[in-house]
Chains A and B, each alone.
Chain A
Amino acid sequence: MTTTSEVKRLYVKGKKRKVLVILSALIVLLITIVISISLGSGSPRFMEAARVILSKIFPFLEINPGDTNTQNIILQFRLPRIVLAIIAGAGLAVSGASMQGVLRNPLVSPFILGISAAAGFGAALVIVLGIGVFGPYTGYIKVASAFIFSMLAMLMVYSIARLRGITSETVILAGVAVGYLFSAMLSIIQSIASQYAATEIVFWLLGSLTKVTWEAVLIILPLVLVAITLMIRHSWDMNVMGLGEETATSLGVNSRRVLIVCITLGTLATASIISFTGIIGFIGLVSPHIARMIIGSDHRFLLPFSIVLGAILLLCSDTLARLVLMHSELPVGIVTSLIGVPFFIYLLLSRRRLFWH
């Protein structure tokens, strides 16, 4: 006969293992950061990079930061890009994980409200009108436009879903419909755009972290942090919502409120990210699944683990994206799929247990 203390011990042991998995992933992330800093064109090596960074963080130590060219490469190009890859990966993954959770649907990605097509449409519009209309501010206006159209898509989805009551089904279906609408409008723009503009649109849609600045980091970071904090606070609610709306209600969880909070936060964070980077699709859909297969479905552990995993995946992919071609770069969205898909399929086939019912 299993005793009460034995049962508790088993439970605690299981949770400790999960914390350990998350800590290990954090260490992997740190290693990835170190490797990523030391690799790339213009090639300041790791020690040089470390010196530049340390001299900035601890100016009183009077470390020699090296020549200005090296400093520039590290501080203005490589570092913001690495930081953004981490934030974007984390933000997309946590949004994906919690949206899949509250909508109880494994096919849900952070773009479920149709915002990828909407952001694409917003960006394409500005690319086509271009320098002629917006002058030197085109870059900023493109970002703003992508974000504004994402928000527009979200509002449209909510207004449509509200007519039948906001539930998992209405939100998903309205999201698909709005997505198709913007996708059609995006196609119209692409078909009438000049060849130059059309190419630029395609590149935007593939996603890239190339033109990253500290400004982008400063805008995205707070949104992603707020989303992460609030979503993790709702971990228990997400667990309970997996039991169905009636049971959730009987356990004191207002499913509709949690659903709206999590989806709105996820969409805000995602929209802010992709407005700067273009559509980086794969991370938000698949890192939550990879995380779920490794650590299980308890959102208290799943969300933090998805965050770290998303950051690792995007940082690895972006580092590869800048390295594999000699004189140009691969769009990061392509690389994420190329390295993520085999890993995902491996996990899918090697797990005995269904991870989604």
Chain B
Amino acid sequence: MKLVINGLSFSYNSITALKDVELELGFDEVLSIVGPNGSGKSTLLKCIDRILKPSQGAVLIDGRDVANIGLGELAKIIGYVPQSSTSTFPFTVFDMVLMGRKPYIRWIVSERDKEIVAEILKFLGISKLAARHFNELSGGEQQKVIVARALAQQPQILLLDEPTSNLDIKHQLEVLGIIKGLTRSRHLSVIMAMHDLNLASRFSDRMLLLKRGCVFAVGTPESVLTEENLESVYGVKSHVTNSVLDIPQVTPIEPIAPGVEDSEESK
């Protein structure tokens, strides 16, 4: 599946959240969207998955506008992992992951559906949680369950909204490692919104840096994570070095005094 974003703009009432975003997602690629709070990371993901309707431009999958793809069909192509997940009703982990099969299930759960769910649980190493209740799990476990649910959709494109924001360092590495592995083993393309620049740099093939809804830079972590870019987008003086893993590592030093440009920081 080839994902192309063409001149996409979006506004909440009259406030512009995204402006003229252009992007092409490669096969088996992990792309991170980074940028300050309110720069439009989540909004972009939601526009891709038709949760929000862009005011201009389009998202194309293999040349088809997602606006013309039925919700049910789209759910078989794109999996979405929201920033936080709660369930109004208590469900077991198995039931929760089974909901990822919703696009395929009419009413009866087939043997194949159960098989797929059981295998994904095993793949993510959470089989032993199957009968536990979702709401009683730790944040890290919950995140894995939600990733499992998105995988149960058998999507070709996976969208994740800050998948590591509530996780400890071990779970961060585990979840991102799984996601990175999936692009290779299952030919998934991944777009994730990230706050942690160093994690993004480590697990992404490319990065997209947003500033107030506009694409400021896009490219390899080395080309995007420069001291100049970070200063002008985040307003933070930082030091970028090459880490022991041979990837750029950002050490933020201090916020620069608000200039003319930054005093109107969105939101």
Contacts and interface: CB of A to CB of B under 8 A. Distances in A.
Interface of A: 1-8, 10-12, 14, 101, 104, 233, 235-236, 239-240, 242-244, 246-247, 249-254, 292, 296-298, 300, 353-357
B137 to A, nearest CB: 13
Given A7-B121, A250-B75, A250-B80, A14 B92 contact: yes
Interface string B133-147: 101000000000000
B94 A251 contact: no
B88 A357 contact: yes
A236 B107 contact: yes
Contact of A8 (B90, B95, B114): B114
Contacts of A297: 89-91
A4 B71 contact: no
Nearest to A292: B89
Contacts of B122: 3-4, 7
B156 to A, nearest CB: 14
A5 B128 CA distance: 12
Interface stretch (B1-9, B44-52, B229-237): B44-52
Identify which of A250, A298, A300 gathers the most chain B CB atoms within 10 Å of its CB: A250
Interface string B67-79: 0001111111011
Nearest to A106: B88
A7 B75 CA distance: 25
Interface in B107-122: 107, 114-115, 118-119, 121-122
Nearest to A247: B82
A355 B92 CA distance: 12
Contact of A7 (B50, B127, B135): B127
A356 B153 contact: no
Given A3-B122, A243-B85, A297-B91, 11 more contacts: A3-B127, A10-B131, A11-B114, A101-B89, A236-B107, A243-B86, A247-B82, A251-B102, A292-B89, A354-B90, A356-B88
Contact of A356 (B51, B79, B89, B91): B89
A243 B99 contact: yes
B100 interface: yes
A10 B94 contact: yes
Contact of B99 (A3, A240, A249, A296): A240
A6 B133 CA distance: 17
A300 B109 CA distance: 11
Contacts of B51: 246, 249-250
Please indicate which of the listed interface residues A2, A243, A249, A254 has the most CB atoms of chain B within 10 Å of its own CB. A243
B94 A249 contact: no
A246 B103 CA distance: 15
A247 B85 contact: yes
A216 to B, nearest CB: 32
A236 B94 contact: no
Contacts of B100: 251
A152 B84 CA distance: 39
B105 interface: yes
B88 A252 contact: no
A173 to B, nearest CB: 18
B130 interface: yes
A236 B127 contact: no
Nearest to A297: B89
30 contacts: A1-B127, A1-B128, A2-B127, A2-B128, A3-B127, A8-B118, A11-B130, A235-B107, A236-B102, A239-B89, A240-B102, A242-B87, A242-B88, A243-B85, A246-B51, A247-B80, A249-B50, A250-B75, A250-B82, A251-B99, A252-B71, A252-B76, A252-B103, A297-B89, A298-B91, A298-B95, A353-B90, A355-B89, A355-B90, A357-B86
A242 B46 contact: no
A100 to B, nearest CB: 9
Contacts of B114: 8, 11-12
A252 B49 CA distance: 10
Given A1-B127, A7-B118, A250 B92 contact: no
Given A11-B130, A235-B107, A244 B86 contact: yes
